[in-house]
Amino acid sequence: MPPPERTNTMKKITLADMTLKNQAHGAKFTMSFKEKLELAKELDKLGVEVIETAPILNEKADVLLLKSISAAVKNSIISCPVGVGAESIGAVWEAISGAKEKRLLVSLPVSTVQMEYSYGKKAADMLTMISELVGECRKFTGEVEFFAQDATRAEGDFLCEVIETAISAGAAVINISDTAGTMFPEEFSAFLSDLYERVPALSSVRLSVSCSDSLHMAAAQSLASIGAGAVQIKTIVRGTEAASLEQVADIIRARGDSLELSTSLDMTGFRRSIQRMLKMTGSQRTANSAFREEIMPSAEAANILLDSATGISGVSTALKSLGYDLSGEELSRVYEDFQRIADKKPVGAKELEAIVASTAIMVPATYKLLTYVINSGNVITATANVQIEKDGESIVGLKTGDGPIDAAFLAIEQITGRHFELEDFQINSVTEGKEAVGEALVKLRSEGKLYSGIGVSTDIIGAAIRAYIDALNKIVYEERQ
């Protein structure tokens, strides 16, 4: 059956962004929990119809992120990949249940090499898996997408069987992927037209495409696919796994009328939004780096301003918007200190977080700072030698880093043998004058939960180290309970 004929009316194209999903598959940039949430909000505000998230790998942290994104996004469909077991599908559905619109995504390789390399399965076994997973997803929702990985390198007859199997099992969206990114736009368009001819059922569902930008042709390939029947194209803010969101938007803005294409993108605010998202995804630090160059302020933090009339429930709501999940006892201690400060001045997000760090969790010190020596300058790489005591034993960490504080934090990670996501880092002046005392606030995220530490010193590096160790002690204490 041929693809739908072109008409004189504008064709609406759905954009599905893969940036968050790509975070779980070796992206060169790293993002904090807060930045991932902010990116989802920005995509939603921009008008991207589908936001694809990363799969659930770390149950606590990833489920918390999915629930937070689902609650924050107002219009976009939240699409989350499922695992290869039926139990994983239920867990994903529960995690995104709060989303206004939601989709379950089954993503499996269909080329011979990838099937055997990734899953150790032959063609017949893969067809069975596709049928079972799509069918299980269909029990939860009619909005199920099957993502055929490496489709352009699959055996032709087998790919047709794959598509027919997924549609028969209940898939409403079929994604054809040029993972290699080697097809020219006209070749990819012809490839899709051939699939429409060979698989009549394809006309009964929505066709989606994703093209690697390894040869810088993804945007052209994706837009060419629309003439062959595609109604959804995959994009990415930064990376080569799909067409660039910025490039696709620029092409449609410049030539959308002549191509008779339209999207839901807010072109008025697009440039500002894309710059914000590029900044969020701009760090090419490794996932093991302790220190991020810049933390994007959240809209919630900017809007928090509480006064003495705010009740304990209002404080609790504000804390939850910042990512804190406190027990009743911890909340009571925080509220007591909050009232003391709120009687004198309005309390914003920074003050509220400082109260949490110094009040909420009082724990024994598993780790104690003994000494630290920092070498840094504009012509040498910063080096930190940190000595910490644990259970009466002195342990030394020696690391280099992008600046003295980064080096110090990495030295502590070397001592503990653990890496935690640095959610936030702040330095504030407590007193004035040459001997001013500085207060450092460090927020670490472990298993999806935030732990704050406070450090005070006339040396900002010493304050930062003490704050990190304070947060670390809280994590260790809670893990032992």
pLDDT for 300 equals: 56
Residue 3 lies in a domain: no
Choosing from 225, 246, 280, the residue where a domain stops is 280
User: Which residue has 């304990």 as its token pair?
Assistant: 312
Mean pLDDT score of the chain: 86
Q: Do 79 and 102 meet the contact criterion of CB atoms below 8 Å apart?
A: yes
The full length of the chain comes to 481
The mean per-residue pLDDT over the stretch 192-209 comes to 97
Both 208 and 342 in one domain: the answer is no
252/384 same-domain check = no
Residues 117 and 260 grouped into a single domain: yes
* Domain presence at residue 416: yes
Q: Are residues 444 and 337 located together in one domain of the fold? A: no
The verdict on 20 and 163 lying in the same domain is yes
Whether residues 123 and 68 fall in one domain: yes
From 280, 309, 344, give the residue that closes a domain: 280
What range does the domain containing 424 cover? Answer: 367-480
Q: What is the pLDDT of residue 431?
A: 42
Q: Is residue 288 one of the residues assigned to a domain?
A: no
Most confident of the following: 75-89, 304-318, 349-363:
75-89
Question: What mean pLDDT do residues 454-478 have?
Answer: 85
Does residue 192 form part of some domain? yes
Domain count, the chain: 3
For position 387, which CATH number holds? 3.30.160.270
Residue 286 has pLDDT above 60, yes or no: no
Strand-pair partners of 386: 372, 397
* Pair 142, 126 in one domain: yes
Neighbours of 287 (CB within 10 A): 11
We report the CATH number of the domain holding residue 109 as 3.20.20.70
Phi, psi (rounded to 5 degrees) for 397: -120, 135
1 in a domain, yes or no? no
Residues 273, 303 share a domain: no
Domain end call among 343, 360, 377: 360
Q: Is the pLDDT of residue 299 over 70?
A: no
Tell me if 293 is assigned to some domain: no
Instruction: Classify residue 448 as left (phi > 0), alpha (psi -120 to 50) or beta.
Output: left
* Residue 5 domain flag: no
The pLDDT value given to residue 441:
86
Does residue 318 or residue 242 have the better pLDDT?
A: 242
Strand partners, 424: 443
Reported as a single tens digit per residue, the pLDDT across 395-453 is 999 999 888 999 999 999 999 999 998 888 888 764 444 444 567 889 898 888 888 88
Pair 447, 325 in one domain: no
Instruction: To the nearest 10°, report the CA torsion of 214, 215, 218, 220.
Output: 170
* Bridge pairing between strands 449-457 and 243-244: unpaired
In a domain, 399, yes or no: yes
HSE, side-chain direction, 13 A CA sphere, residue 96: 28
Write the CA distances from 293 to 129, 195, 425, integer angstroms: 43, 47, 10
pLDDT digits (tens, 9 = 90+) for 116-128: 887 888 999 999 9
**324 plus 410 within the same structural domain:** no
Say yes or no: 217 and 307 in one domain: no
Q: What is the pLDDT of residues 33-61, one digit of tens each?
A: 878 888 999 999 999 999 999 999 877 77
Q: Quick one: which of 177, 233, 172 has its CA closest to 49? A: 233
Q: Are residues 314 and 223 in the same domain?
A: no
Token pair belonging to 150:
């490496």
pLDDT surpasses 90 at 95: yes
In this predicted model, what pLDDT tens digit does every residue of 1-26 receive, in sequence order? 555 554 557 899 999 999 999 876 65
